[in-house]
Amino acid sequence: MKFARQLRSPIAGMLVAAASLAMAAPLLAQTPYPAPGKNITLILPFAAGSGTDTTTRLIAKELAVGLGTNIVIENKPGANGSIAASYVARAEPDGYTLFVTTNTSHSANPYLLKNMTYDPIKDFTPIARTGDLPFMLVIDPKLPVNSGADLIALAKKEPGKYSYASGSSSAIVSGATFAALAGLDLLHVPYKSSPPALTDVIAGRVSMMFVDVPTGLPHVNAGVLKALAVTTMKRSALLPQLPTMDEAGVKGFDITSWQGYLGPANMPKDIVTKLNAEIRKVIERPDIRKELAGRGMEAFSGTPESFDAFLKEQLVVWEKLIRQAKIEKQ
């Protein structure tokens, strides 16, 4: 009997171990997200003070409350957003490194850059779209013009004299499209991000710029920039007094910038679902929408699936825009 008990002891030990593992598996699977004390980092492809930066900080503040954790914002401007996009594409898909971006990195870059360091579809997980950032044409107020038609006439009188700045792919494509459709000879002056580009337009070193409304509006309101038109086909509800580029005489001009949250490829579905739900709660709040509108953003959201379909559609849209503007890859 003693011998039998000695045989049963190892077997019993293995059974206990197996039972322990079986109990531990559900516990591991149920690890809460976000884990207590673990920060979520939002990577932004533009500098502090840009439209994406200012609107993201407002949304992130409320999102942190909903998720019950701290959210850290890290700006990684440069290379048309490629530096930030590549960083997120190579991050762990655990939900703690997310990308708040626009059409610059995910719609335009594949047709603007010769060397892409990421795939805008395969390397990312769509989480939620957060809205649109309309663009507007702003100029050095010392220029003797008061409308888009005036600006076109002035630029045609002295070909090659006037210039446009850019701090994003949207601005690059908008400027080139303007020059192509209006038949203008304009010098392109690129910058890493919109804030330093605007500084040079305000100082009169560059003649004009297409900029997102959140970034440009404070300077327009301060009187250091003059806004001439919005880039969308319809007038913006945020700036109904501004004509469209189409109304200003540039027929067929229709460009807008979207904003949304993505993560690295292969993020767990439950984490994506939770993030989407919390982001939408923030975006759908009337007080948040009103505050975002005051900063120049038209806020709305949707499902991860609708965002995924939208991203693929936008690649087609921006390929056409860039081809029509005759922009060569750099």
Q: What is the pLDDT of residue 15?
A: 46
Q: CB-based contacts of 106: which residues, under 8 Å, 6+ apart?
A: 85, 120, 124, 262, 311, 314, 315
Same-domain pairing of 193 and 116: no
Q: Amino acid identity, residue 19?
A: A
pLDDT band of residue 30 (cuts 50, 70, 90) is: low
Place of tokens 């953003």: 297
Tell me: do 282 and 307 sit in the same domain.
yes
**Of 189, 215, 230, which residue sits at a domain end?**
230
Higher pLDDT: 15 or 66? It is 66
Indicate the burial class of 221 (C-beta count within 10 angstroms; 0-12, 13-18, 19 or more). Answer: exposed
99 domain residue, yes or no: yes
Helix pair 304-324, 169-182: axis angle to 10 deg = 40
**Whether 299 and 319 share a structural domain:** yes
Residues 6+ apart with CB under 8 A from 250: 148, 152, 178, 181, 182
With 50 as the cut, is the pLDDT of residue 4 above it? no
Give the residue carrying structure tokens 């690649």: 315
- Are residues 167 and 196 in contact, defined by beta-carbon separation less than 8 angstroms? yes
* The pLDDT of residue 137 is above 90: yes
In a domain, 32, yes or no: no
Q: What is the pLDDT of residue 94?
A: 97
Query: Are 142 and 127 in the same domain?
Result: no
189 lies in a domain? yes
Section 281-308 average pLDDT: 94
Rounded Cα gap, residues 311 and 126, in angstroms: 9
**Structure confidence at residue 25 (pLDDT):** 41
Residue 54 lies in a domain: yes
- At what angle are helices 269-283 and 304-324 packed, to 10 degrees? 80
Lowest-pLDDT range of 21-25, 108-112, 130-134, 222-226: 21-25
pLDDT recorded at residue 277:
98
* This prediction's pTM: 0.81
Residues 98 and 142 reside in one and the same domain: no
Run of H or E residues at 243: none
Are 124 and 142 contained in the same domain? no
Q: Are residues 90 and 70 in the same domain?
A: yes
Q: How confident is the model at residue 238 (pLDDT cuts 50, 70, 90)?
A: confident
What CATH number does residue 268 fall under? 3.40.190.150
Q: CA 145, CA 124: separation in Å to the nearest integer?
A: 44
Could you give the number of structural domains in the chain? 2
Do residues 78 and 96 share a domain?
yes
Q: Are strands 208-212 and 163-166 parallel, antiparallel or unpaired?
A: parallel
**pLDDT band at 134; cut points 50, 70, 90:** confident
Residue 184 has pLDDT above 80, yes or no: yes
User: Domain holding 142: CATH number?
Assistant: 3.40.190.10
Mean per-residue pLDDT for 50-73? Answer: 95
Give, rounded to a whole angstrom, the gap between the first and last alpha carbons of the chain.
83
Percentage above 90 pLDDT, the chain? 72
* Domain coverage including residue 87: 40-133+257-324
Evaluate whether 112 touches 327 at the Cβ level (below 8 Å). Answer: yes
For residue 221, tell me if it sits in a domain. yes
- The pair of structure tokens assigned to 160 is 């090659």
Average pLDDT over residues 237-255: 89
Q: What is the pLDDT of residues 256-278, one digit of tens each?
A: 889 999 999 999 999 999 999 99
Whether residues 129 and 265 fall in one domain: yes
